Amino acid sequence: MNFTSVIMAAGMGTRMKSKMPKVIHKVCGKEICRWVIDAAKNAGSDKVCTIVGHRADMVKEILGDICEFALQAEQKGTGHAVMQAIDVIKSAKKEVVILNGDIPLITAESIKKAVNYHRENGNQATVITAVLDDATGYGRIVRGDDGGVRKIVEQKDANDEEKKINEINSGMYVFDSESLLYALEKLTPNNAQGEYYLTDTLEILLNAGKKVGGYAIADNDEIRGINDRIQLDEAEKIMQKRINEYHMRNGVTIRNPQSVCIEDDVEISSDSEICQNVTIKSGTKIGSDCVIGSGSTLDKAVIGDGVNVISSVIIESEVGAGTNVGPFAYIRPNCNVGSDVKVGDFVELKNSTIGDGTKISHLTYIGDSDVGKGVNFGCGTVTVNYDGKKKYRTVIGDNCFIGCNTNLVSPVNVGDGAYIAAGSTITDDIPEDNLSIARARQVNKDGWKDKRK
């Protein structure tokens, strides 16, 4: 589509009561401003410039190289903010779309429609508007007989007839680049606040005989700005509904979707089921025919087909097809769990590889380990991987049997097919197919009770 976008994100956001700028607070796992930038790009914007101000370095560091930046060192109004992107505007070949950086619900489709409306009607400027049931407090759009925008009247300046108008200014616009440059050059701070108002550019263009139109957005939620934590919550609820419905339309069953939190950038294949009270964070991929049970949290997890997860946490790890996890399992970062594995109740894995078909049924800690295929872990097995200064790895071969209450003191290697007797503390390597017993021999003392009397 080829247009330039300027996103105003320099405000302090004092009502958020936060040390962070409001535009980098997150909605469904993605920064508020990033939602706006992505919408502009997906609509066809080939250049995006974000105006930063309050804690600009933090905003630039978090957003990275996804757009250009311009600095508004002093807060002198919306017109002044756009002036900081003057070089970007001068280089624009077609339209410049001005967007607010605190409207995460704006969609690419609406931006695209606004630009098309601007082009089809031959406008030099187009105000993106909304029609509200109650427009109290907003600037009203006053249209002429031809349907074009004649002026924007603020609430305090509106007469009785103008107050009845329910079409309002969203604070976002589409300009022809040359017309915007012309208006910015003539913009002055002749008002009580001594600020440069972007809305004044419309009057400048109208006085110059330019055509100004208004495009009414279809979904008023898209222009919702976020100023405090309550509005952040309201926006997140709307975005969450969008995300959940997207997955449901693509063949995913979500039980009680109002209780399920799925962030942006999550992939779920068809015929998987997400139960109530589940959290799925950005970067997670879930295969088909999976069941993610109540109370589970997945964070940057990669889940194969046919996996069942019951009330468990999986973070930055991969789980192979047909594996069962939980209840109450904790798979920490850097784990690669194979196919048809059982990771049972109160099992914790960390920085480990688990081979196909291995069973870790309950009450076990496996950390910094490489475990082969077909291994069976008895209840209460622990890899003792830390000596107080350094962590070491445990290596367990294929088809081993690890008895209950075994301690594996790293570094240690257990060969293929080895058996470890219950209650053993293993400090030395075990050759393949050996039985290792590392516990005190049982002693039964005959008549001991009688001797105590």
Domain ranges of the chain: 3-223, 239-436
User: Considering the chain, what is the average pLDDT of its residues?
Assistant: 97
Q: Out of 3.60.20.10, 2.160.10.10, 1.10.760.10, 1.10.1240.10, which CATH number does the structure's domain 239-436 have?
A: 2.160.10.10
pLDDT 10s digits, 60-110 = 999 999 999 999 999 999 999 999 999 999 999 899 999 999 999 999 999
pLDDT for residue 318: 99
Task: Indicate if the pLDDT at residue 418 is higher than 90.
Answer: yes
pLDDT for residue 237: 98
pLDDT for residue 405: 98
pLDDT for residue 283: 98
Average pLDDT for residues 304-322, to the nearest whole number? 99
Q: Which residues, 6+ apart, have CB-to-CB distance to 406 below 8 Å?
A: 378, 380, 381, 382, 420, 422, 423, 424, 425, 426
Q: Please give the Cα distance from 300 to 335 (Å, whole number).
A: 12
Task: Indicate if the pLDDT at residue 155 is higher than 90.
Answer: no
Three-class HEC string of 18-55:
CCCCHHHCEECCEEHHHHHHHHHHHHCEEEEEEEECCC
Q: Please give the Cα distance from 435 to 430 (Å, whole number).
A: 8
Q: What are the structure tokens assigned to 346, written together?
A: 């109160």
- Do 405 and 423 touch, CB atoms closer than 8 A? yes
Task: Indicate if the pLDDT at residue 451 is higher than 90.
Answer: no
Active-site residue, 362 included: yes
Query: Above pLDDT 90, what percent of the chain?
Result: 95
pLDDT for residue 157: 87
Q: Please give the Cα distance from 207 to 437 (Å, whole number).
A: 95
Reported confidence tier of residue 151, pLDDT bands at 50, 70, 90: very high
pLDDT 10s digits, 27-71 = 999 999 999 999 999 999 999 999 999 999 999 999 999 999 999
- Do 106 and 36 touch, CB atoms closer than 8 A? yes
DSSP 183: H
Q: Give the CATH number of domain 3-223.
A: 3.90.550.10
Tell me which of 25, 118, 247, 362 is the catalytic residue: 362
Average pLDDT for residues 243-257, to the nearest whole number? 99
Average pLDDT for residues 210-216, to the nearest whole number? 98
Secondary structure (3-state) at 193: coil
pLDDT 10s digits, 175-206 = 999 999 999 999 999 888 899 999 999 999 99
Taking the alpha carbons of 89, 93, 94, 99 in that order, is the dihedral positive or negative? negative
Q: What are the structure tokens assigned to 86, written together?
A: 């003057």
Three-class HEC string of 322-358:
CCEECCCCEECCCCEECCCCEEEEEEEEECCEECCCC
pTM for this model (two decimals): 0.94
Reported confidence tier of residue 154, pLDDT bands at 50, 70, 90: confident
pLDDT 10s digits, 315-365 = 999 999 999 999 999 999 999 999 999 999 999 999 999 999 999 999 999
Query: Above pLDDT 70, what percent of the chain?
Result: 100
102: Cα within 13 Å, side-chain hemisphere: 21
- Do 262 and 247 touch, CB atoms closer than 8 A? yes
Secondary structure (3-state) at 15: helix
Q: What are phi and psi of 288, to 5 degrees?
A: -85, 160
Q: Please give the Cα distance from 40 to 3 (Å, whole number).
A: 9
pLDDT for residue 191: 84
Task: Indicate if the pLDDT at residue 376 is higher than 80.
Answer: yes
Average pLDDT for residues 135-148, to the nearest whole number? 93
Reported confidence tier of residue 453, pLDDT bands at 50, 70, 90: confident
